[in-house]
């Protein structure tokens, strides 16, 4: 038998990601998205696939070419699928008849269209569109002549003028529009100088549910309210009380209740998201999970899956029960709930569920599921028995020829008696008696969670002969409200001690670890912590900091979120420079002796590249071992959704640095 090969960074070109399963109301027909990276074209390609979950035949591809086709949504009668495709450059809404034939383009919006939602009678599709005031919903299909490309000044008069996802604001507002399926006539449901996010359509067709922040002064406003828009008169009615952040609004089949996810920002962005129910008859909103410490939704960190969507609660046909995803102790799991407040786990294994669809049924669901040594596939979940049946095996050939590392869960107690949880990966082809280097990985957020999911970066390091340690220090999601809030105001405090306790635990309990060959890396908050660690200990022989923060004082003014995130997380602002500097890794640069590789994207507006530049120049000025790698045309999301060649270069830089200093 031929020995399996080890994984490489370049295998991202071989791996396929499946996501966003959508089960039709008949409970049998399922459509989903499969995404691959095209090496020669250096881009992503996504396609719709169909499978009958009862017959479990091989999936059938429904779209073709090099485009990204995504967001499939069934018509109420299950005879058509609406989806978004960029085959005509900008993403537009298309509809496909399940009996066959070419997909028909329904929109020609100048800035693209997204998020299709069917009307209950199947005659219209609502969608989101970005428009300038007075701009038309339609544009010519013909290629526009090249416009004058001379640079023009950017006028800025508000603080929220840029975002890492969208770059500089160009005057567009996100509106809700609709298109008639037969006539292809379009119209707007919202307008004005506000952004509206489409949620759902009421079962009787009278209302479209949207979320928006209609505050006049938005620079200091961090709200998301749920509104009902009358589909005929366009009148808006607010359901929430501007007390926090609410969204993911879904209707019960009888139209009596609206379920939504949200919180009232008691702990700023560290507040746990909960389930809320709005009673249409009583006109009252109540929090269904107010007494629970369970985090609703999927907050797991990964670097592989493409096209996963944010889910609200999925109602059953009985109008009082529903399913939802929850983040819990290193897993994302499926829960069953009722209007009476009952909560029961329906799938509680060690896994990452990053997709869920029920088609409105209560007896079974389709889940997208990943584990540390399984990139991801679709499964049928039989709710009564808890049995899982595999529907897809998209990476079967790859997994047959490639060996992956397993992740062993660890639990330990911190130096101040907090329970902590994480994983350790042995190197691939590990032999008893070996002494191997260890790399500590630190996640971003900080309010996120490492999980039982596939992580390509970890697998690549394990394939190179490294043990990989990763934990969820305080500040992470999945372990209750007190735990996630504990990091605020204490960056570099107990969170740092948690990570050092984890390293101590690993060395004491795994005799294969060579404590003289330790490396550390992380991105965003994990990059901050990497910088902090090497300024406070010399136990690590190599470090790689990614998209990091080094100076909270400058971060305040240059990040797209700096002026409020600094206040929320450090609990300080420019009126207290001393505190900001005390929490800045740059303040400890004289103590940094660990060779440091700095990876940063040129268009990172979340943690701008000047954070990397400051640290690099300070280290080089002190004759320290440091190197800076700048990634062009990339933002904060480089490791997850950046250009394929840059993602692979990043992985090879990380491995190369550790190979140089730990071997």
The catalytic residues are 524, 636
Which of 376-380, 381-385, 435-439, 641-645 has the weakest average pLDDT? 381-385
pLDDT for 142: 43
Q: Is residue 86 part of a domain?
A: no
Contact 532, 549 (CB under 8 A): no
pLDDT digits (tens, 9 = 90+) for 406-454: 999 999 999 999 999 999 999 999 999 999 999 999 999 999 999 999 9
Q: What distances in angstroms separate CA 16 from CA 36, 150, 461, 523, 652, one per listed residue?
A: 5, 41, 20, 24, 20
Q: Rounded distance, CA 269 to CA 262, Å?
A: 11
- Its sign, for the CA torsion 86, 89, 93, 95, is negative
Q: Rounded distance, CA 192 to CA 148, Å?
A: 28
Among 268, 299, 639, residue whose Cα is nearest residue 487: 268
Q: Is residue 26 part of a domain?
A: no
Q: Rounded distance, CA 7 to CA 225, Å?
A: 46
State the residue for tokens 């049946």.
Answer: 389
pLDDT for 292: 96
pLDDT for 1: 53
DSSP state of 588: G
> Both tokens of residue 347?
């799938």
Contact 31, 22 (CB under 8 A): yes
pLDDT for 56: 75
pLDDT for 330: 98
Above 80 in pLDDT, residue 636?
yes
Above 60 in pLDDT, residue 221?
yes
> Both tokens of residue 252?
């019960």
* The model's pTM: 0.97
Above 60 in pLDDT, residue 359?
yes
Contact 364, 382 (CB under 8 A): yes
Among 99, 100, 95, residue whose Cα is nearest residue 125: 95
146 falls in which pLDDT band (50, 70, 90)? low
pLDDT for 141: 47
Which of 61-70, 144-153, 235-244 has the weakest average pLDDT? 144-153
Among 75, 121, 77, residue whose Cα is nearest residue 94: 75
pLDDT digits (tens, 9 = 90+) for 578-601: 999 999 999 999 999 999 999 999
Above 60 in pLDDT, residue 361?
yes
Is residue 69 within a helix (H) or strand (E), and if so which, with residue range? strand 69-74
Q: Rounded distance, CA 494 to CA 529, Å?
A: 12
Q: Is residue 346 part of a domain?
A: no
Measured in residues, the chain has a length of: 663
pLDDT for 6: 97
Q: From the CA atom positions of the chain, what is the Rg in Å? A: 25
- Looking at every residue in the chain, the average pLDDT score rounds to 96
Q: Rounded distance, CA 549 to CA 530, Å?
A: 10
pLDDT digits (tens, 9 = 90+) for 27-86: 999 999 999 999 999 999 999 999 999 997 899 999 999 999 999 999 999 999 999 999
Half-sphere exposure of 540 (CA within 13 A, CB side): 29
Half-sphere exposure of 575 (CA within 13 A, CB side): 3
Q: Rounded distance, CA 224 to CA 242, Å?
A: 7
pLDDT digits (tens, 9 = 90+) for 290-341: 999 999 999 999 999 999 999 999 999 999 999 999 999 999 999 999 999 9
Q: Is residue 507 part of a domain?
A: yes
DSSP state of 144: P
pLDDT for 124: 98
At a CB cut-off of 8 Å and minimum separation 6, what does 417 contact? none
Among 532, 527, 534, residue whose Cα is nearest residue 609: 527
At a CB cut-off of 8 Å and minimum separation 6, what does 2 contact? none
Counting the structural domains of the chain, the total is 1
Tell me the CATH number at 633.
Answer: 3.40.50.1820
Q: What distances in angstroms separate CA 226 from CA 63, 287, 297, 377, 525, one per listed residue?
A: 35, 14, 18, 33, 31
Q: Rounded distance, CA 44 to CA 66, Å?
A: 8
Q: Rounded distance, CA 166 to CA 151, Å?
A: 19
Residue 486 buriedness (CB in 10 A; 0-12 / 13-18 / 19+): buried
Q: Is residue 406 part of a domain?
A: yes
**β pairing state of 436-442 and 513-523:** parallel
Above 60 in pLDDT, residue 536?
yes
What's the rounded mean pLDDT across residues 342-348?
94
Q: Is residue 155 part of a domain?
A: no
Containing structural domain, residue 579:
399-662
Q: Is residue 629 part of a domain?
A: yes
**Residue % of the chain over a pLDDT of 70:** 98
**Cα 285 to chain center, whole Å?**
28
Q: Is residue 293 part of a domain?
A: no
Q: Rounded distance, CA 404 to CA 454, Å?
A: 10
What's the rounded mean pLDDT across residues 109-138?
96
pLDDT digits (tens, 9 = 90+) for 462-495: 999 999 999 999 999 999 999 999 999 999 999 9
């Amino acid at each position: 038998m031929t020995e399996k090969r080890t994984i490489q960074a370049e295998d991202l070109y071989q791996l396929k990601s499946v996501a966003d399963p959508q089960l039709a109301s008949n409970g049998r027909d399922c459509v989903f998205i499969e995404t691959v990276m095209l090496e020669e074209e250096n881009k992503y390609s996504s396609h719709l696939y169909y499978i009958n979950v009862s017959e479990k035949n091989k999936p059938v591809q429904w779209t073709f070419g090099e485009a990204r086709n995504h967001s499939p949504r069934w018509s109420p009668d299950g005879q058509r699928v609406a989806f978004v495709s960029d085959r005509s450059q900008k993403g537009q809404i298309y509809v496909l008849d399940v009996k066959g034939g070419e997909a028909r383009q329904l929109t020609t919006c100048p800035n693209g269209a997204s998020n299709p939602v069917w009307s209950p009678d199947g005659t219209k599709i609502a969608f989101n569109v970005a428009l300038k005031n007075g701009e038309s919903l339609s544009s010519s299909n013909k290629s526009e002549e090249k416009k004058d490309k001379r640079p023009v000044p950017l006028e800025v008069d508000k603080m929220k003028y840029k975002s890492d996802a969208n770059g500089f604001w160009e005057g567009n507002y996100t509106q809700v529009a609709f298109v008639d399926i037969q006539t292809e006539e379009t119209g707007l449901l919202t307008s004005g100088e506000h952004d509206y996010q489409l949620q759902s359509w009421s079962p009787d067709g009278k209302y479209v549910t949207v979320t928006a922040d209609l505050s006049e002064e938005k620079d200091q406003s961090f709200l998301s309210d749920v509104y009902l828009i009358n589909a005929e008169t366009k009148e808006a009615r607010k359901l929430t009380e501007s007390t926090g952040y609410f969204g993911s609004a879904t209707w019960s089949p009888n139209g009596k209740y609206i379920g939504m996810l949200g919180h009232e920002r008691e702990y700023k962005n560290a507040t746990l998201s909960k389930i809320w129910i709005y009673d249409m008859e009583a006109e009252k909103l109540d929090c269904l999970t107010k007494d629970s410490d369970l985090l609703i939704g999927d907050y797991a960190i990964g670097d592989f899956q493409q096209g996963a969507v944010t889910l609200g609660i999925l109602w059953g046909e009985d109008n009082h029960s529903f399913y939802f995803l929850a983040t819990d102790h290193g897993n994302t799991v499926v829960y069953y709930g009722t209007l009476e407040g009952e909560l029961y786990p329906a799938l509680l294994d060690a896994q990452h569920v990053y997709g869920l669809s029920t088609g409105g049924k209560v007896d079974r669901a389709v889940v997208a599921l990943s584990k540390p040594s399984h990139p991801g596939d679709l499964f049928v979940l039989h709710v009564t028995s808890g049995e899982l049946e595999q529907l897809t095996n998209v990476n079967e050939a790859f997994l047959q020829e490639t060996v992956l590392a397993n992740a062993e869960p660890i639990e330990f107690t911190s130096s101040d008696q907090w329970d902590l949880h994480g994983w350790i990966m042995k190197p691939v082809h590990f032999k008893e008696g070996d002494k191997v280097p260890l790399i500590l990985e630190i996640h971003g957020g900080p309010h996120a969670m490492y999980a039982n999911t596939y992580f390509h970066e970890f697998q690549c390091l394990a394939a190179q002969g490294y043990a990989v340690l990763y934990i969820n220090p305080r500040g992470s999601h999945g372990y209750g409200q007190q735990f996630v809030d504990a990091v605020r105001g204490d960056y570099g405090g107990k969170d740092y001690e948690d990570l050092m306790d984890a390293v101590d635990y690993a060395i004491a309990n795994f005799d294969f670890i060579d404590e003289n060959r330790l490396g550390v890396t992380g991105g965003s908050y994990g990059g901050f912590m990497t910088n902090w660690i090497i300024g406070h200990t010399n136990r690590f022989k190599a470090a790689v900091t990614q998209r990091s923060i080094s100076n909270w004082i400058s971060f305040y003014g240059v990040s797209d979120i700096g002026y409020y995130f600094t206040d929320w997380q450090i609990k300080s602002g420019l009126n207290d420079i001393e505190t900001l500097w005390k929490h800045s890794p740059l303040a400890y640069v004289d103590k940094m002796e660990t060779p440091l590789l700095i990876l940063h994207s040129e268009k990172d507006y979340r943690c701008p590249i000047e954070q990397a530049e400051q640290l690099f120049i300070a280290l080089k000025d002190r004759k320290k071992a440091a190197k800076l790698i700048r990634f062009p045309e990339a933002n904060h999301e480089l490791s997850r959704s950046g250009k394929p060649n840059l993602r692979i270069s990043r992985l090879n830089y990380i491995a190369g640095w550790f190979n140089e200093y730990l071997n």
